[in-house]
Structure 1
């Protein structure tokens, strides 16, 4: 009997791996800047060290591109400090070794440009509520929000936090978001720690509760406070650039399911988040629940997120850091099973925490993704709740080959919206017409011009035929134009 079960499991995974990879899937990685955990390792204090710091990020992005990742969650705000020149908060000291030290370039602009060169989205990952411990806050001096806007900050257990109950908190966070969304060609805003501290019955909001509670329980009051912040920011972003994705990474279990307990650690009761309510109300485009669990602590809760998603994109965060024996005792087959599961049940994709373990290829996780799960590229899933209209096809596609290079050029799609110019996807194969439904035929995506130079890494793998489609910032892909046979 045991051998029969093992054979059945093996057969299932072999069949699953043989299935066609999805053409649309979010493949994300968190690039952590706090403490320089993923980046940067070098302080930017001289022209040479600036170039080295930038080269470290390029190495990370090249690694992701080689494995067909398409989404970078780039840490943009840590705890009361940022990684771009801001009129509101100081530069993070990790860039130069000193608070508000100018690194000599704009790290966020650099990250966005380099992501876009590689056809990847860049999302600004921003820590929301925590402001750091007393030592960190003191290091920021007069530039700390605790000094600039004392009324929206509260101390709790040797740390400082923005007070979710104060109406000024949502406005302060939106000021930061407005800086990023209005100044940069960012693809998404991704909020971390948009929650209360866990198990915080004595969090100092009793005054606000008495003033604004209006008959609700304390738990309801706190959940409503976080929901109002999410709602305010979502609407604010959409008024600026409606295609910019708004997402959070909530605690990985919403609450107990009908059969499985969350064991006292969940979003709804422990930290007062209501992400399923946010998706139901339509004030999230994506969520990345931090599902750093194994077995029945993962699978039923992943299904619960998907069943309550209201059509929004659920991208489970996978705890690949537990593959490091210093972090946990996981073996890679646990991550493999979670990958198969998320695809089988048609979740929108996967996020990988953190980048270091991809760079180190811990237990072969990077190799497995590059060679198996992400062997072919994937496009971003569409967001039909925002826009359903696909752009028209580009026209007059020509392909000219010389010296091993093929120069493609085409005429832009005619329904070009100057505020939301379509991007282009390049397809190639050895059969005509090129089948644009197959991810293995994707050569490049998110091309921002009307030309592309194609050359295979191995000349004997060069393709003969080409096609191009237009795709808008909402993920709607139009019909293809084929190069003349």
Structure 2
């Protein structure tokens, strides 16, 4: 109780401080550290691919479409791509545990003849982009009755939980939770992904809390002393915590985040439970009782590195205005040492691609920066197919320079070793990689600046190494083409986005 009182008092203070900047300052320019992500949806071919099948011609078309999307991400100076690799308990990679996705090959369980996740990781890294594996942890179907061998096995095991049109893996079954952990382990140990992210599908919408519920007997068997709703939310918490522990054991450099619905922590749901002030907007925290999602619990338990709530409303919305929600989420995440990166929708641009609508989105980007309590901020756009409608506006000023991801602060974190042997020949800068812990991804920040400038003159005024205006490339390899006749510097960056001391040429 004392801890919750202290947390609540700090939360009140932090909200008062952020409320002092309620008049949103105009923050143009391009900060050095910022999550600039995009959701790349594959389920139903929302963003990619436009065609499914297994022929060489279809493979070439799918790869060409992906490279076009990633080229746009690079030109916009984004940092990260959230690539959907598991939408309906089917996958976009060569798995030993689950079937190939019909959204790539045209038929569930049939290989497309290539490995999309391997391809996307490699193509992202060629462009200096982080690749996050986007996983739907529980969803099995949105109405389709899949009947492959593995699907029949899951049915026979009693793993599936249905209500309405949705069927999910039952979070109350321990073997189900172990399976989800194993899927995530397969991804992060088999592929050089930079992160892992879940979205907002948990229990089926509005599944009842009565004896008619399909998981009623399981609740009574396991935890009848808990309320039905608390038991379901605890099952989700267990899954998130198990994923967190698995990552610490296998790939501690992988960042883990979740993208819940945009409103949480109301006074009648979970704010008091976790010692926080309630979210003050009029809109309801429907996710708490309808899908049993309680994001404040993940933040309190520190089982995620970041939270990316789907704040899909404009600044003028009557019940869920954008800026108050950003302020509340930023404070809630910062309170427990987690990062907050707002997920924003670009969908209005499809029918209303006007200067005022684009200005609304840019204002939201500014809000994400200006209302950050911790200074570790970002924006994740939904979804990739709309990027072209915003690319010129945002690249003109807000993303005018490249950026590094925000730093994740972990216990015992030290700067990575600087690269060595920096040399330049024929417009190609190269260096030698220093040894690092096995399994940890390393990448490099490459800077080019006018040779007449001193080292002091090129430094970031905030004390974060070299200024981002000179950042020309993020490289996952040890050589890169650079503009000739400049001064150069290279730093190593670890999975937590901690930057080494620079080496100069």
Same topology, TM > 0.5: yes
CA spacing shift, 1:208–1:328, aligned 2, 3 Å: farther
Structure 1 counterpart of 2:498, from 446, 469, 476: 476
Shift of 1:123: 0.8
Mapping 1:52-63, distance limit 5 Å:
52-63=61-72
Structure 2 counterpart of 1:352, from 381, 401, 404: 381
Q: Which residue of 2 is the match for residue 373 of structure 1? A: 398
Check conservation: 1:44, 1:53, Cα contact below 8 A: no
With the length of structure 2 as denominator, give the TM-score of the two structures. Answer: 0.84
Check conservation: 1:276, 1:305, Cα contact below 8 A: no
Shift of 1:305: 1.5
CA spacing shift, 1:80–1:157, aligned 2, 3 Å: same
1:137 aligns to 2:137 (yes or no): no
Q: Which residue of 2 is the match for residue 5 of structure 1? A: none
Shift of 1:270: 3.6
Name which of structure 1's ranges 67-76 and 38-47 shifts more when overlaid on structure 2.
38-47
CA distance in 1, matches of 2:324, 2:286: 14
Shift of 1:397: 2.3
Structure 1 counterpart of 2:367, from 341, 347, 356: 341
Shift of 1:216: 1.7
CA spacing shift, 1:448–1:214, aligned 2, 3 Å: farther
CA distance in 1, matches of 2:278, 2:167: 37
CA spacing shift, 1:348–1:366, aligned 2, 3 Å: same
1:384 aligns to 2:377 (yes or no): no
Structure 2 counterpart of 1:293, from 310, 313, 324: 313
Q: CA RMSD in A?
A: 2.5
1:397 aligns to 2:430 (yes or no): no
Q: Which residue of 2 is the match for residue 274 of structure 1? A: 294
Q: Which residue of 2 is the match for residue 250 of structure 1? A: 260
CA spacing shift, 1:87–1:258, aligned 2, 3 Å: closer
SS of 2:197's equivalent in the other structure is strand
Check conservation: 2:89, 2:138, Cα contact below 8 A: no
CA distance in 2, matches of 1:126, 1:387: 29
Q: Which residue of 1 is the match for residue 194 of structure 2? A: 187
CA distance in 2, matches of 1:280, 1:65: 35
1:321 aligns to 2:350 (yes or no): no
Name which of structure 1's ranges 214-223 and 285-294 shifts more when overlaid on structure 2.
214-223
Q: How many residues align?
A: 453
Check conservation: 1:255, 1:262, Cα contact below 8 A: no
CA distance in 1, matches of 2:259, 2:354: 21
Shift of 1:229: 0.7
CA distance in 1, matches of 2:473, 2:94: 32
With the length of structure 1 as denominator, give the TM-score of the two structures. Answer: 0.87
CA spacing shift, 1:12–1:300, aligned 2, 3 Å: closer
CA distance in 2, matches of 1:448, 1:148: 45
CA distance in 2, matches of 1:420, 1:133: 37
Check conservation: 1:358, 1:366, Cα contact below 8 A: yes
SS of 2:328's equivalent in the other structure is helix
Name which of structure 1's ranges 433-442 and 89-98 shifts more when overlaid on structure 2.
433-442
SS of 1:385's equivalent in the other structure is coil
Check conservation: 2:326, 2:371, Cα contact below 8 A: no
Structure 2 counterpart of 1:29, from 22, 31, 38: 38
Q: Which residue of 2 is the match for residue 240 of structure 1? A: 250
Greater RCO, CA 8 A, separation 6+: 2
Name which of structure 1's ranges 169-178 and 378-387 shifts more when overlaid on structure 2.
378-387
Structure 1 counterpart of 2:327, from 293, 300, 303: 303
CA spacing shift, 1:149–1:77, aligned 2, 3 Å: farther
1:465 aligns to 2:476 (yes or no): no
Check conservation: 1:170, 1:233, Cα contact below 8 A: no
Shift of 1:472: 1.1
